[in-house]
Every structure is written in structure tokens, then in C-alpha cells.
Amino acid sequence: MSGFASSSIARKVVMALSGLFLVLFLAQHATINLSSVISPETFNKWSHFMGYNAVVQFILQPILIAGVVVHFVMGIALEIKNNRARNIKYVKYRGGANAPWVSRNMIITGLVVLAFLGLHFYDFWVHEMAYKYIEANPEDPTRYHAETVEKFEPFWRTVIYVISFVLLSLHLWHGFASSFQTMGVNNKYSPAIRSFTRLYAIVVPLIFIFIALYHHLNPITHS
């Protein structure tokens, strides 16, 4: 097993599995967030459940953070190794002649998403941890919707979120279907997987973009 753990294929599998896990998480995240537009009460209910349920907080949340860390650390480690695999670069290299831009620039789209996650964690996760564990505020199941909408009041934050979701879309466009190839799935179902990947890569980031723009354009007015 020690040989397996350090092998190039094992590292690819780690990237693929952590990526697929994050893809699943994105669908769940988009669904709950969409409720903030449709029904603030439902959004508050779900957010409170996610914020105070012991299984979510102490089992699923650490698994999610581990998934994010593993995906990014492994991605960056592989990028460094791949750069070393060509110590002298080409004078002329027409990468676009044989592979799409998104597949060749996963590190760029990935790093933008990572930078966005820093802001996103600061905005919501750090705030939540401070609210619950540092300030030790009492439970308030009605606060989440207003807090979320308030975050999208500044134009700059909304723009950053929208740009990040566009880059996330590009990352998913290649990464989702690519995970199946890494796991050894390349058969009659592959065209369907690629089609679903493209649909997913467009729809899910669009939902997030819609939510950000909706809340920016519909701020809560304080009377």
C-alpha cells in the first residue's frame, strides 16, 4: 500500500474523489441558498439546523473542510511536480491546438476559487464561529436571512462573488467529467457524463450568481 499512496495514480484518485465530494456539497449548498430567495423562513430553518446540529457541525463540517484542504493541497503539490517534469520550457507551445483552455488552466481557476473561499470563510464561517463560541450569543433561528442579504449589500463583494462563480464554472467544466476518467470510467456512458458535467457547470454557478445579484438588488430596508 505504501507504493500505492505515493503513486501518481493514487494522487489523481485523491483529487478525483475529493473533487466529486465537493461537487456533491455544491449541489446541497446551492439548494439551501436558493431558498433564501424563495422563502426566508425556510432558509432560516435550514441554516439554523446546519449551524446547530451536532452531526453537521462536528462530523460533516470537519469532513468538508478536510475535503477542501486535501483537494487544494494535492492540486498544488501536483502542479509543482508537473512543472518539474518539464525543466526546459518550449520556445513555442501551442497548447490550444490540442486541449481546451479550461483543462490546461485548472490551477488558475482553482486558485481563484481558493482565494474566494478565503473571503467566503471570513464572511460566513468565521462570523458564525465568533457569534456562537467567542461572543457566546444565544440561539436566534431568525437571524440568518438578514445576515446573508446584508453581506451582498457592498457592490465590490457581489462582483467578487460573481467573478469567482464564473471561474468555478470553468473549473467544474473540466474537473467533474475528468474525475470519472481518473476513476477508470471511460465507456458508453462517458458522453452522458460529459453532457451532465456541462449542465452542472453552468446551472450550479448560475444559481449562486443569481442569489448574489438578487440579494444585492433587493437589500433589506431598515425602517
Partner 1 sequence: MKLLLKIWRQKNANSKGKMVDYPISGIEGDMSFLEMLDVLNQELIEKGEDPVVFDHDCREGICGSCSLQINGEPHGPDRLITTCQLHMRKFNDGDTIVIEPFRATAFPVIKDLMIDRSAFDRIQQAGGYISVNTSGHTVDANAIPIEKDHADESFNAATCIGCGACVAACKNASAMLFTSAKVSQFALLPQGRVEATERVQNMVRQMDLEGFGNCTNTGACEVECPKGISLENIARMNREYLAATTKG
Nearest Cα to Cα of residue 149 among 220, 69, 202:
220
Nearest Cα to Cα of residue 165 among 42, 33, 6:
33
Q: 2, 94, 133, 134: which one contacts partner 1 (CB under 8 A)? A: 94
Cβ proximity to partner 1, 79 vs 147, nearer residue: 79
Region 52-81 residues binding partner 1, contact defined as CB under 8 A: 78, 81
From residue 183 to residue 212, the character string flagging contacts with partner 1 as x (rule: CB under 8 A) and all else as - is xxxxx-------------------------
| C-alpha separations of 130 from 7, 126, 136, 148, 207 in Å | 41, 6, 8, 16, 28
Region 158-187 residues binding partner 1, contact defined as CB under 8 A: 174, 178, 181-187
Question: Minimal distance in Å, beta carbon 104 to partner 1?
Answer: 5
- Options 50-58, 65-73, 84-92, 118-126: segment touching partner 1 (CB under 8 A): 84-92
- Options 98-106, 129-137, 165-173, 212-220: segment touching partner 1 (CB under 8 A): 98-106
Q: Does 1 bind partner 1 (CB under 8 A)?
A: yes
Q: 58, 86, 221, 223: which one contacts partner 1 (CB under 8 A)? A: 86
Question: Minimal distance in Å, beta carbon 179 to partner 1?
Answer: 9
Cβ proximity to partner 1, 1 vs 38, nearer residue: 1
Contact predicate 125/179, CB 8 Å: no
From residue 3 to residue 42, the character string flagging contacts with partner 1 as x (rule: CB under 8 A) and all else as - is xx-xxxxxxxx-----------------------------
Contact predicate 104/44, CB 8 Å: no
Q: How far does Cα 196 stand from its chain's mean position?
A: 18
For residue 84, the tally of other CB atoms under 10 A from its CB is: 8
Q: 38, 54, 55, 93: which one contacts partner 1 (CB under 8 A)? A: 93
Question: Minimal distance in Å, beta carbon 200 to partner 1?
Answer: 17
Interface residues toward partner 1, by CB under 8 A: 1, 3-4, 6-13, 78, 81-82, 84-95, 97-100, 103-104, 106, 174, 178, 181-187
